[in-house]
Amino acid sequence: MVTCTVIHPNTGIGFELAAQLLAKGNYHVLLACRSPDKGYAALQRLQSRDLPGTVCFTHLDVTDDASIHAAASQVEKDYGRLDVLVNNAAIGRAQEDDLRKKMRECFDTNATGPAILGYAFEELLRKSDYPLKRIVNVSSGAGSIGRMFDPNRKAVTHYGRTIHYQASKAALSMVTAQQALDFAPHGVKVLCWNPGFTVSELGPFNKVEHGAKPTEEAVRPLVEIIEGGRDGEAGVFLSEDGKSYPW
């Protein structure tokens, strides 16, 4: 069985990814969630589908270093290694009104957390003998600096000024690039992927009526990336529909 940890699996892309991996039958999925109530609710929903893979819950808060290291220790104790880590935790609308606090809040979840996660789980990934071992960071096209001045890009203006979100996702690209270099000597790939505008709880406009695509459709390319389908495109910001974005 391929042991895969999915961060923030209780809704949207994370939940659908867990479901699609479990449907394949050769995955053991660890649902890593900050809220035990939401995590166990997701676990029960997945178990009720009677999918052939196996699934369990583990507590993990990407903004809490002690929680991250405790989760890594638990995975070490239970499995001795990790094959795949999918970092899907993200916030789009910070709760704070002050810009400095907004920046800090978004960076903590969207960039700093994934950086600490990667290094906390590095040794477990190195111990895996799975040939496709990897980290996949779920990002956003809003973090592409190269697209900012593209006159043909479709700017999402629903949320007003979102520099806190955009900057944090741009930072996630650098986290991905640096860890890709750090982990490559040990056979661990680190990739960054943009799902496109998808139904989720990221914000009030991530709904079908506003043009967001269903999670079932959005997640299929992510499964392909997890299973090595785009490994020939190393060093790029992977996007939906087989495309890529400039960093």
Cite the active site residues: 165, 169
Using CA atoms, how far apart are residues 140 and 245, in angstroms rounded to an integer?
10
Which residues contact residue 36 at a Cβ distance below 8 angstroms, ignoring those fewer than 6 apart?
A: 57, 59
- Phi/psi region, residue 104 (left: phi>0; alpha: psi -120 to 50; beta: rest), is alpha
What is the spatial distance between Cα 161 and Cα 29, in angstroms, rounded to a whole number? 36
Please report the sign of the dihedral spanned by the C-alpha atoms of residue 205, residue 247, residue 5, residue 2.
positive
Output b/e per residue, 194-203; b: 16+ Cβ within 10 A.
bbbbbbbebb
Cβ-based burial of 55 (10 A; exposed 0-12, middle 13-18, buried ≥19)? buried
Residue with tokens 């990934």: 125
